[in-house]
Structure 1
Amino acid sequence: MSRCPSVASVVEGLVQAAGRDYRAAGRVSNDVLQSLHILHGQSLMNALDLIDNKKVMKVVGNSGRWVYQVTGSSGTPYICLPHSIFCQCMAFKFAVLKRRERPLCKHVLASRLATEMGEVEEKTVSDEYVMDILANMD
């Protein structure tokens, strides 16, 4: 009996493949991009645009606790939790959770791709700052 991989594991594998391609050749292969596009549609292009424009920030507290802060196309910063699909944006709430139109919002996709590609900016802050971010999440 064959086992079909979950969408989450397929997405994770493609994100890792994109990172390998980018680190090895400075670009993501067309096959990986096409596969990501099938799953994410326009969100992929939007996520790549966020990465190109350096809108993905890893905010790290002194203790090592961290979150992603991704500035959306409207200029609004969204918090994405590491190792999670959670994002504060409306697309996460509606397109990912309610309508299940896509596996990730563009902010989470951008944070994962940027990390794998080595293109995430990092900012060191106090632990209190990270705790304030987490405490004020909607």
Structure 2
Amino acid sequence: MGSSLLSVAEQLLKALQRTYSETNQIPDDLLIALRFVFGQCALQALGLVDQRSVTCLSSPSGRKAFQVLGGSGHLYTCFTSCHYCPCPAFSFSVLRRIESLMCKHLLAAYLSQAMGLCQQEQVSDQKMTHILSGKTGAST
């Protein structure tokens, strides 16, 4: 995907944030643009946002990660800072086939952040280290 398409996606998310903060809704033209730029995963991502499936984890050191509860019940830890999700769709459609900009989980993280609908959770630096290392089962 070219950098111009990424720029369009970024501008679209900014427009969505601006409009949603003013009206608390997404107008039809922005919904159409989301569907055009992100494909079918836009509707799936909006569904995850509606279900409040996205939680932003923050640590005292300033690290952030997003946990998205997928439709299958699996919890994915996404990173908007490096544009990554560990789900199979991201590996296949984004990294391998280069046919999508992002998966529904990562898009849900961006959308929930833009719409101010992301649940917030503070975690210790130690727990964030476990999350970043993939050891999310550790209790701290």
What TM-score do you get using the length of structure 2 for normalisation? 0.90
Shift of 1:85: 1.8
The aligned counterpart of 1:69 is 67
Secondary structure at the aligned position of 1:35 is classed as helix
Q: CA deviation at 1:103?
A: 0.5
Post-superposition Cα deviations, 1:6-42, rounded to whole Å, max 9, x if no partner, equal 1111111111111111111111121111111012222
State the match for 2:110 in structure 1: 112
2:6 maps to 1:16 = no
SS of equivalent to 1:54: coil
Query: Could you tell me which residue of structure 2 aligns to residue 48 of structure 1?
Result: 46
Residue 133 of structure 2 corresponds to which residue in structure 1?
A: 135
Which SS does the other structure have where 1:100 is aligned?
coil
TM-score (norm 1): 0.91
Gaps of 5+ in 2: 136-140
Three-state SS of the structure 2 residue aligned to 1:6 is: helix
Query: Structure 1: which 5+ residue stretches go unaligned?
Result: none
* Equivalent of residue 84 in structure 2, options 80, 83, 86: 86
Which consecutive segments of 4 or more residues in structure 1 shift more than 4 A? none
Alpha-carbon distance in 2 for matches of 1:62, 1:5? 33
Matches of 1:9 and 1:95 in 2, distance apart?
A: 19
Q: 1:29 matched to which residue of 2?
A: 27
State the match for 1:121 in structure 2: 119
Deviations 1:52-102 (A, max 9, x none): 111000011122211111111111111111323210101100011111121
Q: Percent identity?
A: 37
* Equivalence for 1:7: 5
Please report the RMSD computed on the Cα atoms of aligned residues, expressed in angstroms. Answer: 1.5
